[in-house]
Amino acid sequence: MPRGAKQRVKAALGPIVRQLLPRRAALEPAHWGLTVMPRGHLAFEGVSLAALREDWGSPLHVVLAERLRGNISEFLAINDAGRTRAEIYYSYKSNPIPGVLRFIHASGIGAEVISEYELWLALQLGVTPDRIVFNGPAKSVASVRDAVGRGIMLLNVNHREEIAVVESAARELCKRPRVGVRAAPSAGWSGQFGLPIGTGEAFAALKEVHESGVLELTALQCHVGGMVRCAHHVQGYVREVLALADRVKTELGVELAILDFGGSLATPTVAQIGELDRRLSITFQAPLPAPVPEATLPIREYVRCVVEQVEAHYAANARPCPRIFFEPGRAMTGNTQILVATVLSLKAGEPKPGWAILDAGINVAECARTEFHQIFPATRMHETRAHRYRLAGPICSPGDVLSWSACLPELAVGDALAIMDAGAYFVPFATSFSFPQPAVVMLEGAKVRLLRRAERFEDIVALDEMGEQYASN
């Protein structure tokens, strides 16, 4: 069938397919605490996102301080009456903007790092070694030596081969570091991440640490990966961790001082895009199904679920409860940041209205390729969203599409769009692919503070040897 005929068939079938799909409630700005100004501009605490774009350039990351403060409070809510029941260590890899990290640390939250750079950054930001947890599958010898030498709170080995590296550093520096082992539960990431509980490999590593003679077996760490949403899932992997901790006590005579449950709690308004949904969206412009926020375990309930299960287990066995660590990333910052983009051009196509070309694509919003992220018309919120646009970025790649079916008002060049939930992995995954990276500002009340200036052309080539022949041009 000729290409034109295929396009016409798809355009004709599109309305039928969309009509047959189950309807779901749409996500509205109020869910993020956003309001709509009289002229249709999307705003937070009375400040227009479009106005921020005019002041600081486009695209632009906007951090919502009040929402971030709220998430921090939810993670710490269980620590009532002066009793610390949950210790929080923020996952640096999720959003490594120093201004965001400082804001988080000001509430007493520690740092969870996975590299020599992140360890350095935490120390530069004034985080004391006793508030740092070092994880990750690829720790360099230099980073292990630095961590051991500084006496950080906890170094979790990812696999058995790492134990010898930590042991060597401990002997060389005459230190006895606190060491944990990352265990992989039956339902979670495995592969290069951690050691399976079910096969006995995790216990073997714990035993090796204990018998080293120079390492202090302190913790069991479990980071399931993915997006955890329900209490049943949480209770399942906590149960496996507790069973392994019991075995360590019974067979090795060691009462683990720390149980570290990692992160992985989902952002309620973000979800992985299923293959069928992706195909329907590309072929028939079917809308991607928005997640149901109420179906995701709230932060406070998630923390309570873990803490109470651990406390009940140890109480039932008349044993002292260990310290309980969490390492949130996405759940802490995901829904506290917005990426504001601008419509650069409109391209006619079938089905109409066609394409909207933005100044932000996979170079700064790579996550949108595989995850649902709500997109609002930040300058036309008062208009009916009756048109379906394909939203493409500025990169010369057919893969640079942020949405195949965005329901929006009729757009014009210069309109602003708000890509929600940009606070986890948008910034660390960003590249300077043909375009400089955007500025980051924090909005706190009516006050706007620059956290990171926009990248300049000179920044992109700052590490390159340009040669004299280019310097005169």
Over residues 149-169, the pLDDT tens digits come to 999 999 999 999 999 999 999
Helix intervals (H) in 351-390: none
Tens of pLDDT along 77-120? 999 877 899 999 999 999 999 999 999 999 999 999 999 999 99
pLDDT classification of 5: cutoffs 50, 70, 90: low
* Alpha-carbon gap, residue 295 to 409, rounded angstroms: 29
Whether 1 shows a pLDDT value over 70: the answer reads: no
Q: Assess contact for 88 and 111: CB atoms under 8 A.
A: no
* Alpha-carbon gap, residue 44 to 334, rounded angstroms: 16
For residue 180, the cross-strand partners are: 156, 219
Tokens describing residue 169: 């550093």
Tens of pLDDT along 51-69? 999 999 999 999 999 999 9
Domains of the chain from N-terminus onward: 3-63+335-454 (2.40.37.10), 66-334 (3.20.20.10)
Q: Is 316 exposed, middle or buried (0-12, 13-18, 19+ CB in 10 A)?
A: exposed
* Alpha-carbon gap, residue 248 to 323, rounded angstroms: 16
What integer pLDDT is reported at residue 19 of this predicted model? 67
* Alpha-carbon gap, residue 333 to 104, rounded angstroms: 10
* Alpha-carbon gap, residue 142 to 140, rounded angstroms: 5
What pTM value is reported for the model?
0.94
* Alpha-carbon gap, residue 425 to 436, rounded angstroms: 18
What integer pLDDT is reported at residue 468 of this predicted model? 62
Cα dihedral 342, 102, 82, 245 sign: positive
* Alpha-carbon gap, residue 207 to 213, rounded angstroms: 11
* Alpha-carbon gap, residue 37 to 35, rounded angstroms: 6
What integer pLDDT is reported at residue 11 of this predicted model? 66
Amino acid code (one letter) for 129: P
Stretch (H or E) spanning 390: strand 387-392
Tokens describing residue 211: 């018998």
pLDDT classification of 244: cutoffs 50, 70, 90: very high
Q: Assess contact for 88 and 109: CB atoms under 8 A.
A: yes
What integer pLDDT is reported at residue 464 of this predicted model? 94
Q: Assess contact for 373 and 419: CB atoms under 8 A.
A: yes
Mean pLDDT of the chain: 93
Tens of pLDDT along 264-278? 999 999 999 999 999
* Alpha-carbon gap, residue 347 to 355, rounded angstroms: 5
* Alpha-carbon gap, residue 374 to 287, rounded angstroms: 11
